[in-house]
A and B are shown apart, each in its own frame.
Chain A
Amino acid sequence: MASTEDFTMVADWATDFDHADPQYNRNAHAIWAELRGTCPVAHSDRYGGTWLPTTHEYVREIAYDTENFTSRGVVVEKGLPLEPAPIGGAPPITSDPPFHIEARKLLLPPFAPKKIEPWEPEIRKLCNGLLDAMVDNVAQGKPIDAAADYAKRIPVNVIARMLGFPLKDEELFLEFVHNVLEGIDDEPEIRIEKFERLIQYVIAQIEDHHASPRDDLTSYLMSVELFGSKLSVEHVGGSIILLLIAGIDTTWSAIGSSLWHLATHHEDLARLVADPSLIPTAVEEFLRVYAPVTMARLVAKDHDFHGCPMKVDDWVLLPFPAANLDPLVFPDADKVLIDRTENRHSAFGLGIHRCLGSNLARLELTVAIQEFIARFPSFEIAGTEDDVVWSVGQIRGPREMPIRVIDNQI
């Protein structure tokens, strides 16, 4: 692919898909449904060769197969990751067995349910602070942006507090996240240059914590041992980068998509406002239908995958949201049923790489929805669907979403 080539729009999703095409995330449900019925493992020559399975069975099979697929690369890009398996650049998400489980065990305890539950009051306070800041605009009948000024602000603040990073650097974190996850069409040298800024920032934070350790995740990572020694700076930095990148865009997208659903489905919004006991099943249903994360793998060995000749270093997208919409696994898969009680969705992945932050993400999503609809029990998209800007790349969610509040409790 020529280095000066501008982005080329996709003409055929089965043979030339590109998740950086703005039409992909906007129309993802229709694209996946079409592919699932006609070409359940699509292929594109873009990014050096990329596969896209869309059935639950295939997504699950790849997620469980750590022999034929490596996690060394989890964000599809034009170059290949520099760091080798089994550790990768951001352990444990980029790690393979057997190293993976040891690196993961270090991070599981701080994200276990009983460690995450105590964050609830602070998250609720954060949400209310953001809602308070919208009151003037709402009172004047002006639209608010539920994606950029609400959903986006919640996870970035929570993870910065957990890591013990300066809250004033919020915009910088958001820029880092954007560069990694949405800048996938950048040429490799530009991506590396941008990534270097993130690395330098994280190293400065590690040095700051070295000088003055505190009770946060950064100091925790600097203090724990793996195989009898402290973690290398590369490992600590890589894990911090993982928490920063994976903890922000994903939850922001889940909150935004859930609010998008409620803004466009007034019957569900009214039902949830009238009966808040439906929140737990509604949250799981939003996670199923609007699962924000498509993971990726690199093919580790040449092999035939259900008739597809997969070659070493081919990219494979793992669209968990597409798996969640597979009618073979979920009855009425294309319907959003906020009282669905049986919901084996894979929004947080399947297998050994289950999202480490799933308990935190669920808590943030639950509280964000509860507080938003308590304050604004009736709202809709201000303008048309074209006024909603969706992300590009592997994380799917609204980036700008003008909302008109119809009824408020301010």
Chain B
Amino acid sequence: MAVSGIVILMQIHVDAEKCQGHNRCYALAPELFDVDDYGNAVVIGDGSVPPELEDRARLALANCPEFAITILE
């Protein structure tokens, strides 16, 4: 959404305590999530989601068995 000419992007966050490395987010949205050497998920960059990837972010959230992903929009 655009506010006063500033585009506010959706933000995603992975709770490292909850993530157990199921890798569903990495499989469904590799543009937004990466995995470390232990297979645990990390957000790429600062967690900002370009508008065209918002659906992917929601899909990742809806497929996380551990409820480790949150979205701020």
Contact = CB atoms under 8 A, between A and B. Distances in A.
A354 B38 contact: no
A343 B61 CA distance: 10
Interface residues of A, number: 22
A108 B38 contact: yes
B63 A344 contact: yes
A345 B65 CA distance: 6
Contact of B62 (A109, A342, A354): A342
A350 B66 contact: yes
B37 A344 contact: no
A342 B38 contact: no
Contact of A108 (B21, B26, B27, B59): B21
B49 to A, nearest CB: 18
A280 B30 CA distance: 14
Contacts, number: 52
Interface stretch (A34-42, A110-118, A210-218): A110-118
A113 B26 contact: yes
Nearest to A112: B39
Contact of B59 (A342, A351, A352): A342
Tell me which of B22, B35, B67 has the highest count of chain A C-beta atoms within 10 A of its own C-beta.
Answer: B22
A109 B37 contact: yes
Contacts of B65: 344-346, 348, 350
Interface residues of B, number: 18
For the complex, would chain B's binding face be called helix, strand, loop or mixed by DSSP majority?
A: loop
Contacts of B36: 112
Interface in B9-35: 20-23, 26-27, 35
Interface in A355-401: 358-359
B38 A105 contact: yes
Contacts of A108: 21, 37-39
Contacts of B44: none
Contacts of A344: 62-65, 67
Contacts of A348: 22, 65
A374 to B, nearest CB: 21
A359 B22 CA distance: 8
Interface in A38-54: none
Contact of A342 (B21, B63, B67): B63
Interface in A236-295: 280, 284
A223 interface: no
Contacts of A351: 20, 66
Interface of A: 105, 108-109, 111-114, 280, 284, 341-346, 348, 350-352, 354, 358-359
20 contacts: A108-B38, A109-B38, A112-B36, A113-B23, A113-B35, A113-B39, A114-B35, A342-B59, A342-B62, A342-B63, A344-B65, A344-B67, A345-B65, A350-B66, A351-B20, A351-B66, A352-B20, A354-B21, A358-B21, A358-B23
